Amino acid sequence: MTSGTTFLDSVNRMFDRAAATLDLPPGLADQIKACNSVYQVKFAVEIDGEYQVFTGWRATHSEHRLPVKGGIRYASVVDQEEVEALAALMSFKCAVVDVPFGGSKGGLCVEPKDYNVEHLERITRRFTQELVGKGYISPALNVPAPDVGTGAREMAWIADAYRTLKPDDINAIGCVTGKPPTQGGIVGRSEATGRGVQYGLREFFRHPEDVKHAGLEGDLEGKRIVVQGLGNVGYHAARFLSEEDGAKIVAVAERDGAVISEKGLDIEALSAHIRENGGVRGFANAEYQENGKSVLEFDCDVLIPAALEGQIDAENAARIQARVIAEAANGPVTIDADDILHSKGKVILPDLYLNAGGVTVSYFEWIKNLSHIRFGRMERRLDELRGQKIIELLHSVTGKDVPKEIAQHLLEGADQLALVRSGLDDTMRIAYQEISSIWHSRNDVPDLRTAAFALAIEKIARYYTEMAHI
Ligand code: NAD
């Protein structure tokens, strides 16, 4: 980040700005802001006959609710401050979307592409051992999930390593979320963060006043979108928005550059191209630009940074032309950039709201793990039977057949994926309505980010003050 402002400084200043609008008991804001504990570990793993030392962290930001929750990131550049900033965002994110967890985050200094699968498994199992030993992984206390550089595979290794260490823990499978569905995961988790970005944007476009504030009108149909980072979050968000909402993804930036097409990029094909070629260069029917970051400055309706923090800073903020910045990544806009964008009338859908889909569906997965039964198992056939009775009744009263599409709908008991998506959609709608209402109803709340922080701080503060009176 530029001008010496770290990611943690940014998050703390955003917090301070929102806390200043609230009437909190003395000292409570400091308590809520502070990171409760951080565990740093160094461990060695034998790689091809040589011991290599790895450094990792797990930060627990707020334990006002347990377990604490947050992803584990694998990257060559990760450090304690970054992990603390991400853990803080997790506390506030969970509060915004009413997920009853505290905030945590983990990081390991490792570049995944430098290691083969067997090495990565050994490293992950060793890291898990270290974290379990100190109570930083447990279904009751601290539940990790995927983040940059990790996915369902790593989560399955973590779950298996935990189970081996704690065979008598009946809830062992709930020690981590984002697992493959066949390993205790839940369908819809891998798409969840991108899906949440789609639902969040849809809800924004259902608020004409907010849309007008950004200088836009209408819905997502035909909107020109630029995406940075076509990983888990960026890929799902871009795919759903283009395939289901009629938006046009006019540019995608990746590590090796950007591809541009005014007609709209085929996200499925681009993702396959990246898998095969390691980058976007050479993708057919699109213009290639080596300086990928420059497409952040494209004239477009919505910019979705979905890669890493600090991508829009004081240096490039004034050149951003997008009307809406949808923060799929954590911390993509620094506090200094935030001020500049605000002064130019941009609307930012903040990370602590917009990318909360992942933790929301992780919550569903954890509940499923603890209840040891999949959603819908008891009632699905009953729902179908009820639908059948309604169809029969309508037929006997009207003498006509119920239209096929409606009959189909009535006959299908909700499956797991439909339930997960319904719960996520509801969560994203309600949270947006709450933050939008705070933004418009309080004079000292200038934007959605401050509104989201204020909402989160209020909820956590209420928890502390109520506890003090018990
Ligand atoms: P990922 O590793 O799957 O994808 C990140 C993508 O960004 C990769 O394709 C990578 O090549 C690309 N990238 C990296 N550096 C880049 C650069 N300088 N320019 C352009 N592209 C670059 O990670 P992810 O899980 O999709 O996470 C992305 C962001 O979303 C992170 O900020 C993460 O903290 C946040 N997030 C993820 C989840 C989740 O469920 N995975 C949940 C909430 C928030």
Span 347-380, pLDDT tens digits: 999 999 999 999 999 999 999 999 999 888 888 8
Matching residue, tokens 């002064």? 343
Q: How far, in Å, from the CA of 469 to the mean position of ligand 1? A: 42
Distance 258 CA to ligand 1 centre (A): 15
| Mutation probe of ligand 1 site: the residue of 77, 92, 148 with most atoms within 8 A of C-beta | 148
- Indicate the pairing of strand 287-289 with strand 224-228: unpaired
Band of pLDDT at residue 413, cut at 50, 70 and 90: confident
* 158-180 pLDDT tens trace: 999 999 999 999 999 999 999 99
In tens, the pLDDT along 329-338 reads 999 999 999 9
Could you tell me what percent of the chain has a pLDDT over 90?
92
How much of the chain, in percent, has pLDDT values that exceed 70? 99
Residue closest via CA to ligand 1's atom 18 equals: 255
State the distance from the centre of ligand 1 to the C-alpha of 307, rounded, in angstroms.
Answer: 4
87 in Cβ contact with 61 (< 8 Å):
yes
Segment 254-283 shows an average pLDDT of 97
The DSSP 8-state label assigned to residue 401 in this structure reads P
What is the Å distance from ligand 1's center to 147 Cα?
A: 7
**Pairing status of strand 37-47 against strand 50-62:** antiparallel
**Which atom of ligand 1 lies closest to the CA of 358?**
40
Question: Contact at 8 Å (CB) between 21 and 454?
Answer: yes
> Considering only CA atoms, which residue is closest to atom 43 of ligand 1?
355
User: Is-contact 54 123, C-beta < 8 A?
Assistant: yes
Q: Of all protein residues, whose CA lies closest to atom 16 belonging to ligand 1?
A: 255
Give, for ligand 1, the residue of 255, 296, 360, 363 to mutate: max count of ligand atoms closer than 8 Å to Cβ.
255
What would the pLDDT profile of 117-145 be if each residue is shown by its tens digit? 999 999 999 999 999 999 999 999 999 99
Quote the pLDDT of residue 417: 92
Atom of ligand 1 nearest to the CA of 362: 40
156 by Cβ neighbours in 10 Å (0-12 / 13-18 / 19+) ranks as buried
Tokens in use for 316?
Answer: 């490039």
Q: Which atom of ligand 1 is least distant from the CA of 253?
A: 20
105 carries an active-site annotation: yes
Q: Given a cut of 90, is residue 382 above it in pLDDT?
A: no
> CA 426, 16, 302, 360 torsion: positive or negative?
negative
Would you state the structure tokens that stand for residue 214, as one six-digit string? 């950004």
Q: How far is the CA of 15 from the centre of ligand 1 (A)?
A: 23
Confidence of residue 114 (pLDDT cuts 50, 70, 90): very high
Confidence of residue 469 (pLDDT cuts 50, 70, 90): low
136 vs 466, higher pLDDT: 136
Eight-class DSSP state of 281 = T
Active-site annotation holder among 42, 69, 93, 105: 105
More confident residue, 408 or 128: 128
pLDDT confidence band for 244 (50 / 70 / 90): very high
Distance 304 CA to ligand 1 centre (A): 11
Task: Please give the average per-residue pLDDT across 47-57, as a whole number.
Answer: 97
Q: Which residue's CA lies nearest to atom 32 of ligand 1?
A: 329
Q: Do 205 and 211 contact (CB within 8 A), yes or no? A: yes
If you search the block for the tokens 């701080």, which residue do you land on? 457
Residue nearest to atom 5 of ligand 1 (CA): 231
* 2 has pLDDT over 50: no
Residue 470, pLDDT score: 53
Per-residue confidence (pLDDT) for residue 274, from 0 to 100: 97
* 51 burial type by CB count under 10 A (0-12 exposed, 13-18 middle, 19+ buried): exposed
Q: How far is the CA of 332 from the centre of ligand 1 (A)?
A: 10
pLDDT value for 408: 87
Residue 176 is classified by DSSP as S
Give the Cα-Cα-Cα angle 56, 58, 60 (nearest 5 degrees): 160
Pick the atom of ligand 1 nearest to 93's CA: 43
Which residue has its alpha carbon closest to ligand 1 atom 28?
A: 307
The residue to mutate among 11, 94, 254, having the most atoms of ligand 1 within 8 angstroms of its beta carbon, is 254
Choose one of 120, 193, 333, 365 to mutate for the ligand 1 pocket test, by most ligand atoms within 8 angstroms of C-beta.
193
Given the CA of residue 230, which atom of ligand 1 is nearest to it?
9
Q: What is the mean pLDDT of residues 444-457?
A: 98
- Nearest-atom number in ligand 1 for the CA of 308 is 32
Q: Write down the mean pLDDT value for the chain.
A: 95
Prediction pTM value = 0.94
**pLDDT tens column, 182-239:** 999 999 999 999 999 999 999 999 999 999 999 999 999 999 999 999 999 999 999 9
Does 113 score more than 60 pLDDT?
yes
**3-state secondary structure at position 177:** coil
- List ligand 1's pocket residues with C-beta within 6 A: 146-149, 193, 228-234, 253-255, 292, 306-308, 328-330, 355, 358
52 CA to centre of ligand 1 in angstroms: 26
User: Which residue CA neighbors atom 17 of ligand 1 most closely?
Assistant: 255
Mean pLDDT value across residues 76-102: 97
* 394 CA → ligand 1 middle, Å: 50
pLDDT attached to residue 3: 54
